[in-house]
């Protein structure tokens, strides 16, 4: 399959028949024209071209974005692929791969980071966030749909966050044994310690430490840009249990918090994300699993 190119003549889409002035063209056993990347996906699926062809098409769109924006594009898109089940939360392996990409990008080249993720382990999320924060060149996190929990932590490290008017971030209250840390601390308001199991008292102690550590890390990410007082207020709001862990923080909400949010995402980022809408037959859903930790 050849590199995607934009044509100049009005042609009909091979899948839906729609006429477009600048069709997407693919060369595979002859030339084929399409009106959009959704039709490209349908063509690839119908032909049974397999994961290699899908990944090739993704790389072509990534290349287009990098040329247009003169940047290095890194992606963290958590969906189940054809070629087996992959962890659908932020892992140490994600941190290894992403930090390598950041480190190998020349310091004068801006980094775009496309995130579609429900969150994950605290340690790798913090490692990625630290690597993003230390970059001197412009860093932009792009959130077409959602970057929740640990993915929100990474977004806080960017110099700019591009969001859709309907995309969302999330809270940063650490989850201990599947329970929100602020709620664990409230248990001491309802029960005396002698009436609480030892295991729960240990979880409460861990929750207290986790909240303190998370607040300090958020302030570290935001202090230079927002100052001590404002960064402390944002950290306290995001970790204080004022909302459930899945409560969406919209672009408007994030801007009110003082985060560097701009609404408006170039169309090619959506096109790229559509090219990850593939599922193996043994899975019922293309979407990521519940976040186990943050």
Q: What are phi and psi of 113, to 5 degrees?
A: -130, 105
Q: What is the pLDDT of residues 202-238, one digit of tens each?
A: 999 999 999 999 999 999 999 999 999 999 999 999 9
Q: What is the pLDDT of residue 80?
A: 58
- State both tokens at 1: 């399959």
User: Does the pLDDT value for residue 186 go beyond 50?
Assistant: yes
More confident residue, 50 or 13: 13
144, 149, 294, 265: which is closest to 207 by C-alpha? Answer: 294
Report d(CA 287, CA 294) in Å as an integer: 17
Burial track 167-182 (b if 16+ CB lie within 10 A, e otherwise): bbbbbbbbbbeebbbb
Kindly state the helix (H) or strand (E) to which residue 74 belongs, with its residue range.
Answer: strand 72-77
Look at the block and give the residue holding tokens 């749909």: 145
- State both tokens at 91: 């892992």
Kindly state the helix (H) or strand (E) to which residue 40 belongs, with its residue range.
Answer: helix 37-47
> What is the overall mean pLDDT for the chain?
85
Kindly state the helix (H) or strand (E) to which residue 277 belongs, with its residue range.
Answer: none
DSSP 165-230: TT-EE---PPEETTEEHHHHHHHHHHS-GGGS-HHHHHHHHHHHHHHHHHHHHHHHHHHHHHHHHH
User: Does the pLDDT value for residue 177 go beyond 80?
Assistant: yes
Q: What is the pLDDT of residue 1?
A: 42
More confident residue, 49 or 239: 239
Report d(CA 40, CA 29) in Å as an integer: 15
Report d(CA 74, CA 78) in Å as an integer: 13
């Amino acid at each position: 399959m050849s590199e995607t190119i934009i044509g100049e003549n009005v042609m009909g889409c091979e899948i839906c028949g729609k006429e477009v002035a600048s069709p997407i063209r693919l060369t595979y056993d002859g030339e084929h024209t399409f009106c959009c990347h959704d039709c490209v996906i349908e063509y690839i699926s119908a032909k049974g071209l397999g994961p290699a062809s899908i990944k090739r098409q993704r790389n072509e769109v990534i290349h287009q974005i990098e040329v247009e924006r003169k940047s290095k594009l890194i992606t963290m898109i958590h969906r189940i692929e054809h070629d087996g089940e992959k962890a659908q939360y932020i892992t140490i392996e994600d941190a290894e791969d992403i930090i390598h990409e950041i480190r190998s990008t020349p310091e004068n080249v801006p980094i775009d980071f496309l995130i579609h993720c429900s969150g994950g382990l605290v340690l790798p999320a913090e490692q990625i966030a630290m690597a993003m924060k230390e970059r001197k060149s412009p860093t932009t996190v792009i959130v077409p749909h959602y970057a929740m929990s640990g993915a929100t932590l990474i977004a806080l490290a960017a110099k700019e966050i591009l969001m859709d008017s309907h995309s969302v971030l999330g809270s940063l209250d650490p989850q201990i044994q599947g329970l929100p840390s602020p709620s664990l601390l409230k248990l001491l308001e309802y029960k005396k310690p002698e009436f609480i199991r030892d295991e729960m008292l240990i979880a409460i102690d861990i929750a207290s430490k986790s909240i303190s550590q998370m607040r300090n890390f958020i302030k570290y990410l935001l202090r230079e840009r927002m100052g001590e007082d404002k960064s402390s207020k944002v950290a306290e709001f995001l970790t204080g249990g004022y909302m459930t862990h899945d409560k969406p923080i919209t672009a408007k909400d994030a801007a009110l918090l003082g985060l560097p949010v701009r609404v408006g995402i170039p169309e090619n980022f959506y096109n790229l994300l559509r090219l990850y809408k593939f599922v193996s037959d043994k899975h019922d859903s293309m979407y990521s699993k519940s976040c186990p930790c943050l």
